Amino acid sequence: HVPSGRLAGFTELSVPPQPNRAVAQGDTIVLSEHRGHLLGMLLKGKRFKTWPIDLVIWDEVSKAKNPKSKRIRAAKYYLWKIERHWGLTGTPAANGLMDLFGQALLIDRGKSLGTSVTAYKLRYFEPVDYQGRKWEPQEHARKSIYKRLKDVAISLKASDWLDIPDI
């Protein structure tokens, strides 16, 4: 960690003496105060010329609702290197449709809702105050957004898959 001068994370590598042998990676450790900013992925990925991962599963992808957050900004570097992205969440739009942009960006690299949050806002929302700080969905927004996400998202209700007997 540059500002503090403290070690923030560590990846164990075993380099064999033979140059044609593979390097083995052991454990990666990241201090708790530095977790959630993809430091572990950075530590593991810095040593590769090509990215050895073809799928990322974003657990609780709903935490990616702010596309300007440190987490999303750090992840953008890897979005283009990894072909497939899956997101898991129980509450994709807990606070409304605006939350879906950052999640969609991680999942499909902007194919469904675009790569600009400003363009997304202008297309599907309208400001409700004169300063443009609060935005509400336009009349067509819900239907249009869901239609654009239909190829990359599925929604299940508990009744679709859960069969719990009455007590």
pLDDT (0 to 100) of residue 26: 76
Q: Which of 33-37, 84-88, 94-98, 146-150 has the lowest mean pLDDT?
A: 33-37
Q: What is the pLDDT of residues 95-146, one digit of tens each?
A: 899 989 988 988 898 999 999 999 999 999 999 988 888 999 999 999 999 9
Q: What is the pTM of this model?
A: 0.64
pLDDT (0 to 100) of residue 78: 66
Q: For the chain, how many residues are written?
A: 167
d(CA 90, CA 93) in angstroms, rounded, equals 9
Please give the average per-residue pLDDT across 50-66, as a whole number: 74
Is pLDDT larger for residue 132 or for residue 53? 132
Please give the average per-residue pLDDT across 81-100, as a whole number: 84
Q: What mean pLDDT is reported for the chain?
A: 80
d(CA 98, CA 122) in angstroms, rounded, equals 11
Q: Which of 2-6, 84-88, 119-123, 126-130 has the lowest mean pLDDT?
A: 2-6
